[in-house]
Structure 1
């Protein structure tokens, strides 16, 4: 049976010449005729023509997939000719959705993957199509029976939606929860003995979808300036009806009766037929045979009207069973025989389509092999020249980085020597303040130890990289030599972060750094930090997630707050082992806005926690986690803004949580 493809609504595009040849579908409506007349207007701008005809493709989608595909492919060509990026992305999403609705899954997956590639290099205002691509791939995975892959795609969309779902009319969360509802409902329906946890998950996501869709429809209704999401509300009712029917409840009829008027108002004949077949099966399971026959016959009528053999097969199969239960064996036999004929025909078409898809894949792979053979020779010639250039670049880069590091260390050492000489002179002149000077020198010594401890790792790393560079050059090991670039960059990044902390610490101690608070949105702030550390998290195989309500506003200095969050997130990633999880979260409390960074590491030692709670002191970093200048700087910045920073181990000993409290914006 054809399943709904959960993809954000797409539009179609074409040219004025093609408009004269638009497919004349038998399922025309007043809106369809209006769009066809509008696209024939020669004065219509190209971009508006693209969007108008994509709207026309939406009218074709549910009842005439072939017409929708032809118009969309022509529209894609026009959008690319005019370099209309938004139109190209919408066309790609429509092609993926239409092929998925026609159960041509290889083609649907191919168009969805192309949409994913194009969306990742599109401008920032079009990044919502990344979510569209992932949700389309999830829908294809559902139809292929790969529930694990579908769950992975759907959950990848959830953190991304916080970046694009801050508009009042955004329906991206609605679509994602609709996908999760369909995913778990499908698992429950297809499993003869579903686990209780699976049933609870299906009910949770479906009830949440129903509430969100009802609120969305109540607010926007069928407003043409927003996506009409009555279909999502109807989908939720159908899923609740099927779940109730499997559980043995007698409330399935209530939900099916709520869904049918919505599908009828939208003109979704194919889905109306499916819903009536579900209703007929439910009535049959409760031994209400006349009602089952009535719904099955109505489903058969709608399937005939929409010329959908899949839905006709399902309706005839249910009708045959209901007729047999009431002793009408002749008609039951006729309906059953016709259902088997339809089933055999559908299997033949599916096999033919699969063979065509395999042939397309074979031709594509053969062409790619030919291209690879032609380019391999050119790559071999270029490789020799690149090897020499790589050696020179690596040697020069390593030399520059080493000189910069040595210069920074020298400047810091010179400053520290001068500070120590001044402290010694003041100690001789102010004997009465001897105790205060002793404490000051002790703090200064701790700063020396901290700088020496934190500088030792990058300096040792540079020395080791220099030895490796000489060894690989002598052995002419170009493969390993080329790999040193990333390690040199990482060492330089660590050194740069340390120097930034030292500079901020020095400026803050001189009183030259004063906060400039302004309203900041918590979800944007945490998403920016997550994007900054996403590559590091992927390299460490650590999951990095964000959770923040879109309406939280805090009053804080943006530069100081970003410095605090960078230090805390970097420490959390260092402390989290492979396969762990770092979670950034924002919540509103009575004392202000709480920004929490939680990791699943081993937690901080009790001694280090006691030192951090004792007051503003410097401490040498502990294993795996910074507990020195970075945290002290973060605490000072938090207090300068009227907030506070607290670190604590989780009660179950599975990690550490850092809580940054800042004032709430008025």
Structure 2
């Protein structure tokens, strides 16, 4: 990663230059081809201090002219993109990765394609786009032959495991890290083995299983120290410090973090040191050492601003708020908290803005298509006018011939007139058909525009509610913290969690609905364990059910080896989450929500039932419609856009099934869908 940081620095120095005017670039390319990392360090450090702005077009024009191999150019694209994935130039990074993937597919180089897919998957995971990230990791794994490229296969498994850890699925993360470790040990890759130990430590720390986490961090240090891998040793010390912080063993946390920070500073790895400074600030604040806490917070902020690492700044603001609170400076704590929320909302809001732009682009494209149809109709009418004029002249000629040629000319003219009439009728039918298509297209465009306006209104209303709640809760937190009422503060924190869950669920549905509307949501069926998907969905909504005193019941044909179906894991996961969320929403307190699996020959039927308030026939019919309508209010006043059930119906139809709704005795509502059962079992 350090080499890639230097690569970026070199790119930043090339503004206004060309390849012929940059001898250091020639040396840089030669060092890259020779895989001489020490020379690369030396050359790029010479230029690092001069970097200012980045002119992508002029740099890559000169780079393309100077490299005679597509594979070398692809390597450069990936190397330049890697270090800026989490900065302000992340969109340019993904553009470079996509260009590298395009070139790799053009020369049919599976390994470079897989490397690009893995890098893009990592980039998307940094922005919380986990579903897309996981799909790309699996796509990369399918391209790699583990017998021929065990190292690349193992590193992809490790990155997939790290992404699962970020998603909170630590059990699967541990499983994939162990698979990666086995490949590294088989190939004798000691550094890969050390990286796998580090990943296992991270996964166990999220369990949390602190003893196991510390054990694997110590194994990483033991393997790294004699091999001179200071980066892995520094990461391990820092992660051990984080574990001790969680256990409130503050002095141990400080001692280990100082070791890690010293190594990072020795390696000039400033971006990684941000978290080290943040950990030290948190520990010193809890020990009431204001001077050292503020010193490390200031250092973290300086490095963030230097490298545009604004996603990391969210963590720094959060720790700063906690530090001020521990010092009793509640006004400053509130100010830092507001910065934490503002920056976090700003970064997450970028995704919503991209979706709005995508919808607008779709609208503009449809508008242009209709304009083209209108022009085609006008051309057809003009051609028809010319044809009719020509036919009129032909009739006059025929009449003159009748006077001269008598009966023979009359018969000839009659035959020609009939032929012309048939041609004219045929053209009239074509024009009528064009008019019908144009009218239908215009109606569809108007309906699409109405749906867009209504959609934006519903989304704005539903997002504004939780955000307004955040503002009110913030003021109440400030007031209750001054009063020292811990019980009230905890209640308000639970309200913040609920509001955040609502916004997250809404944005997830919004993203999938937008991708489905644009036709860019991939359908990737595979053999999946339906039992695990149901467990994941139940785990997510168990807190909501407990808060509402609703009993969640799982009634299925569970087997030790799992219940396997052929389906798209992301789509069916979304269906299960939305159906559970909807059932809990309309079930009163002390009610029940049941999710059951029924087996029929080669089909598995999933049922989600609730003992709620029932459903009218009108509401049942709206579920089958395309249009967006604000859903009914839940039993505790919950609101929604109705988008979740639309997604459920769409995703179930993509699987060749139907979303069935059954109403029992007026109050019990059951949603069901059929999936193809498979007996193919393999290790996930």
TM-score, structure 1 as length reference: 0.44
TM-score, structure 2 as length reference: 0.43
